[in-house]
Structure 1
Amino acid sequence: MKKLLLTALIAAFAAPAVFAAAKCETHPKSEWIKQEDFKKQLEGQGYKIDKFKVSGQCYEIYGKNKDDKKVEIYFDTKTGKPVKSEVQQ
C-alpha cells in the first residue's frame, strides 16, 4: 500500500513538469507569421505536420522531422524560432 501511495505522489508531482507547455514571448497578432506561410516554411525544411495549433503564444506542431522521427515542437509566433522541442530517439 505504501508503495502504491508513493508511486501516486511521485506521478502527481512529476506530471506538471512533463506536460508543461513552452513559454513564448508575447507579440501582437499583427506581427505573427501567418500560419499557412509558417506551415509551408516548415514543410520546406522537411517536416511532415500531422497537427498544427496555436498553444498560448506559441505555434505547436506534432509530426515528423526530415529524419522521420516523431517531433513535438513549439515555435515563437513572430520569429519562427524553436522554443521547446521533443524528438523521439
Structure 2
Amino acid sequence: MKTPLIIAGAIAILSPAAAFASDDCPNVPRDQWMSDAAITEKAKGMGYDVRSIKVDDGCLEAYAMDKDGRRVEVYFHRGTGEVLKVSEDD
C-alpha cells in the first residue's frame, strides 16, 4: 500500500516542473523584482499581448497571446526579466 505513494512522491519530486522551479527561478528579494508593467513592456517588445501576470514556481508568469494568436505562458526571471520558458497555455 505504501509503494504507490512512494512512487507518486518520487515522480512529483523528479518531475521537470520541480526542476524548473528550483533551477531557473531563484529566490529573489521582493524589492528586486521587476514590476508587472516592466514585464508587460518587455513581453510587448517581444511580440506578446499580455493578458495577466502572476507568480508561479518562483517566476513571473505572463499569460499572453503570441504573434500567431496562440495562448502562451511566458516565464520571466523575477529580477532580470530574462525569458526562461515559453509554453502553450492548456
| TM-score normalized with structure 2 length | 0.63
Larger Rg: 1
Alpha-carbon deviation of 1:56? 4.1
How large is the Cα RMSD of the aligned pairs?
2.7
Identity %: 30
Structure 2 unaligned spans of 5+: none
**SS of residue paired to 2:31:** helix
Q: Distance in 2 between matches of 1:67 and 1:73?
A: 15
Contact 1:45 1:66 in 2 (8 A): no
Distance 2:76 2:63 in 1: 12
User: How many positions carry a matched residue from both structures?
Assistant: 76
**Normalization by structure 1: what TM-score?**
0.64
Q: Which residue of structure 1 aligns with residue 31 of structure 2?
A: 30
SS at match of 1:46: coil
